[in-house]
Structure 1
Amino acid sequence: MYRLLKTLACIVILALSTALLVHRNAAADDTMGLDVVGYNHTDHSIGDFSVNEEAGSFLARHEQGGFACCVSLPAKYTPGMTVTVTWTDEYNKNRQSRTVPVPPYTPEDSGMFAVHFLSGGQIKVFVTMYGPRHPNYPLKGDDARM
């Protein structure tokens, strides 16, 4: 009888452990990690930038770059979603931070997380699988010019 109870206890513990692992993996699947790329449309270099405290790098004026890994976002977009973009001036001083709305996306859009510092002081971000020259890239018109 003792042996049977011991065996059943082991089976129950194994089943609970497996269920916990499956739950953890399901929770991990609810997010996606995206490489971050920055675009500086301004007349001044950016010393460094980050998204949700995940570091980026230097962005020269009127250049793209600043690739960094990674920002974690929910795999499913929820209305009202925002990220916090933080940056410094070209001398890594004068740290600033802004909460920026994230436009709707789908898991199929995932490729990179684009951060655009626009010449008018705005910051636009989006999840996209396209590069800036692709016709389906979300930033268009005057805003898209580097």
Structure 2
Amino acid sequence: MNLKTTFRLVLLFAGVSTLLAGCAHAQPAPPKNLGVAVRSINYSGKEVVLMVIDPKDKKNGGGGDALNPYSTGGTICCYSIPAEWHPGLQVIVKYNLYPDPTWHEQLVDIPPYPEGIAGEIWLAMHEDGRAEAVVSHFDPTRPEWPGRVKGRPVQSVEYALRVKRDKLANKKSMLESMEKGLKDGSERTQEQIDRLQSSIKYMKEQIRQMEEGRP
């Protein structure tokens, strides 16, 4: 190999090295923020609508799911969160408790992301009226869940009894309407009368089972 060829190879190697170094430096930096889904969970005995707002950027907001008492909502897009948790990370939880039309706001701290990994942002309402927000790629049933309450909502005894009373009252009202309909003198075929009597009998049995505490 002569001197000229050696010199050319050195220049070629230097050029390739420079190109590779430039490509390495040109790689995009990890994103500082991530767009994530908004989930909601209601640990209280009241119907609630939950939303999230960035206290530093009111245009960054999401949510709006309406939840029944002791229930979990669906997935709503989207809210921007920091890709990495940092101390002092906060959000505003905006909520409305049915039937009161008033909207309320609570500024809450976001606890550290479980395992340092960003996930969905979960909004929660608790029985004591305190709102909560956590970022987690684990759901509430997992031990890594960072929320105040572990697990999904469980109905209180008082709420379960109230629901049962409401259902029982509704069935009794339906039974009363059917019995009145049977006696109102309207012209019906025998088949229609038989169907109505069968429905009345079925409704009475349902009421009896509910009053005896059976499902």
Amino acid of the residue matched to residue 35 of structure 2? G
Amino acid of the residue matched to residue 40 of structure 1? N
| Cross-structure match for 2:23 | none
Q: Is the 8 A contact 1:45 1:90 kept in 2?
A: yes
Structure 1 residues 45 and 66: alpha-carbon distance in aligned structure 2, compared to 1, 3 A threshold:
farther
Shift of 1:110: 2.4
Shift of 1:92: 7.0
Question: Partners in 2 of 1:106 and 1:63 — Cα distance?
Answer: 23
Shift of 1:55: 3.1
| Cross-structure match for 1:80 | 88
SS of aligned partner of 2:94: strand
Deviant stretches of 4+, over 6 Å: none
Q: Does 1:57 find its partner at 2:58?
A: no
Moved more, 65-74 or 107-116: 107-116
What is the aligned residue count? 121
Question: Partners in 2 of 1:136 and 1:55 — Cα distance?
Answer: 23
Q: Does 1:110 find its partner at 2:111?
A: no
| Cross-structure match for 1:124 | 132
Amino acid of the residue matched to residue 127 of structure 1? V
Residues 88-118 of structure 1: per-residue CA shift (max 9 Å, x gap):
1224711001111011127853231111111
Residues 23-52 of structure 1: per-residue CA shift (max 9 Å, x gap):
xx758x110111111111111101x22111
SS of aligned partner of 1:57: strand
1:45 to 44, 47, 58: 47
1:32 to 23, 31, 34: 34
Higher strand fraction: Structure 1 or Structure 2? 1
SS of aligned partner of 1:56: strand
Amino acid of the residue matched to residue 81 of structure 1? L
Q: Is the 8 A contact 2:51 2:123 kept in 1?
A: no
Larger relative contact order, structure 1 or 2 (CA cutoff 8 Å, min sep 6): 1
Question: Partners in 2 of 1:55 and 1:105 — Cα distance?
Answer: 20
Q: Which has the larger radius of gyration?
A: 2
TM-score, normalising length: structure 1: 0.71
Q: Is the 8 A contact 1:41 1:62 kept in 2?
A: yes
Stretches of structure 2 that go unaligned for 5 or more consecutive residues are: 1-25, 54-60, 155-215
Amino acid of the residue matched to residue 46 of structure 2? H
2:147 to 118, 133, 139: 139
Stretches of structure 1 that go unaligned for 5 or more consecutive residues are: 1-21
Amino acid of the residue matched to residue 35 of structure 1? A
Q: Is the 8 A contact 1:56 1:66 kept in 2?
A: no
Higher helix fraction: Structure 1 or Structure 2? 2
Question: Partners in 1 of 2:152 and 2:126 — Cα distance?
Answer: 9
TM-score, normalising length: structure 2: 0.50
Amino acid of the residue matched to residue 37 of structure 1? R
Moved more, 103-112 or 91-100: 103-112
Question: Partners in 2 of 1:89 and 1:126 — Cα distance?
Answer: 20
Q: Superposition RMSD on alpha carbons, in Å? A: 2.6
